[in-house]
Structure 1
């Protein structure tokens, strides 16, 4: 009888061990499946220094929310194409009204979701040692002093067309020379090192205003207005990732903070993710507010 009882107990123990093993395997399988099914959010990144800090901060917060994050590098026009086609979910650095043309073109598939900050000045910039040049109109008739050139950013940027319209509107004998943001700054620096006349495109937030003594030229005809910077999402995000969409719809950040982070990244050569995490740590109340906590 004792042998029978021990046999039954042995069978029960084996069954229990097998069942526990199956439960553990099932749990592991569910965890693996959950991880493999985690949603990816793709953020578009233009080749502008102003895009980096907000993109890195949003990426870190979205990762903490459980999302996989990808970043796609492209010029502004390509970012909006990606947004409209669903290949890109979020763009953190849309400049309005300059980018209104994209919002109108892709209005069926993208939307303006939040404003990051406003009062972002932009326009033609000259060094302050050019004391007699304070407005665009002052350039008329002395274009040859600038070698009949002004330096702009990449061809794909919508501001490139605005600058061409400005040149025509003021009837200036000036050609826009386009390159990357870094290339434009390098060209301007070469001129400024010898205090030569130079015109280039400038905007805030940007470290150029921390590095150099610059002034934005007055522009009386309205080609440049004070801009506001916005978050743009594709129309699917609200349905596919409602908590991410809610966070982004509450997004805001001071322009001074963005400019300070740009300086840390460029001049102090601190990794963008480190700078972004520092901002999050120092602004947890604001982060909680954006997350709706």
Structure 2
């Protein structure tokens, strides 16, 4: 009988050992390095990720990079995570790294997005609704299309269109500045009711601040719609499975991103603060994202994050 009891105790002990609640994450995973390309949507999605990770006991470091440097930094293991892989526009930047196995796409974090050229509604009502219409407006547009920062994937597409003289735009010029610089140009044009063609995307507060028409006919270049993916350095999910599990579940919606970006734009609050307030107001999203996720030291993740958000 003693042998049976002892055997049962050993079996139960083994069961407890092979079925732990959670194991603590490796030391190398305690700091999560995130790439930020300076876009409004990146600011709030990175802010959400940073708050959740902080609540779980991780440290985060967000580094401003260009799109090209983001992937190079992932390849060189100088960054761990990049939440802003817009496709199909960004394919030319990321594809070489994917083919070499240096980075991995782990989840589509946003569906139903848009990224292409747009005009104010009053311009569309005058007849500029398609890519093929732009050339006929050359004099009114000063043969200029407004883009964002140099090296951006959308800028590259426009430059390729100009170089190939697609849609008769060979004599057009791309004005490269920044997201805020471009939007300032749009704001001035709208105030004066002047025509302007520019890079536009959704989610973004511009869709609430201006009445826009997205141009049709550029689907070959920009795609019929857009999606955003989460990218990690190769092998990261295997090395840091708990963070990887969180990242795979971290998906967003256009209304949620628009809401946070609009708050940042109107109040000039830090994106991390806006993201934290949004998380406090949407516990259902937090519960979904933290399902099966533990703290860095292996304790229940949801309760820890709730405590952090209430601080």
What range describes the TM-score normalised by the shorter chain of this pair? 0.7 to 0.9
Of the candidates 137, 146, 153, which is equivalent to residue 141 of structure 2? 146
* Residue aligning to 2:168: 171
Cα deviations by residue, 1:204-234 (Å, 9 ceiling, x for unpaired): 0111111111111112552122100111111
Of the structure 1 ranges 122-131 and 159-168, higher mean CA displacement relative to structure 2 is found in 159-168
Q: Which runs of 5+ in 2 are unaligned?
A: 1-24, 293-311
1:151-184 CA-to-partner distances (Å, cap 9, x unmatched) read 1011211221211223322121311111111111
Q: Aligned with 1:258: secondary structure?
A: helix
Distance 1:269 1:292 in 2: 32
For 1:255 and 1:96, locate their aligned partners in 2 and report how far apart those are by CA, in whole Å: 15
Q: Which shows bigger deviation, 264-273 or 195-204?
A: 264-273
* SS in structure 1 at match of 2:222: coil
| TM alignment of 1:142-291, pairs within 5 A | 142-167=137-162, 168-172=165-169, 173-220=171-218, 222-225=220-223, 226-291=225-290
* Corresponding position of 1:57: 48
Q: In structure 2, do the counterparts of structure 1 residues 37 and 89 end up closer, same or farther at CA, with 3 Å as the change threshold?
A: closer
1:116 aligns with 2:113: no
Q: Structure 1 unaligned runs (5+)?
A: 1-33
Distance 1:140 1:285, change over 3 A: same
1: CA distance, partners of 2:182 / 2:106: 31
Question: How far 1:40 sits from its partner (Å)?
Answer: 0.9
CA gap 1:175/1:37 in 2 versus in 1, 3 angstroms = closer
Aligned pairs (5 A) from 1:14-163: 39-107=30-98, 108-130=101-123, 131=125, 132-163=127-158
**RMSD of aligned residue pairs (Cα, Å):** 1.9
Moved more, 155-164 or 198-207: 155-164
Contact 1:122 1:201 in 2 (8 A): yes
In 1, are the aligned partners of 2:116 and 2:218 still within 8 Å (CA)? no
Q: Partners of 1:52 and 1:211 in 2: how far apart? A: 19
Please give the TM-score of this superposition, normalised by the length of structure 1. 0.83
Maintained 8 Å contact 1:38/1:68: no
Equivalent pairs counted in the alignment come to 259
Task: Give the CA deviation at 1:38.
Answer: 7.4
Larger radius of gyration: 1
Worse-superposed segment, 76-85 or 258-267: 76-85
Secondary structure of residue in 1 paired with 2:237: helix
For residue 236 of structure 1, report the CA deviation from its aligned partner.
3.4
Instruction: Give the stretch that moved more between structures: 95-104 or 70-79.
Output: 95-104
Whole-angstrom CA distance in 1 between matches of 2:78 and 2:29: 17
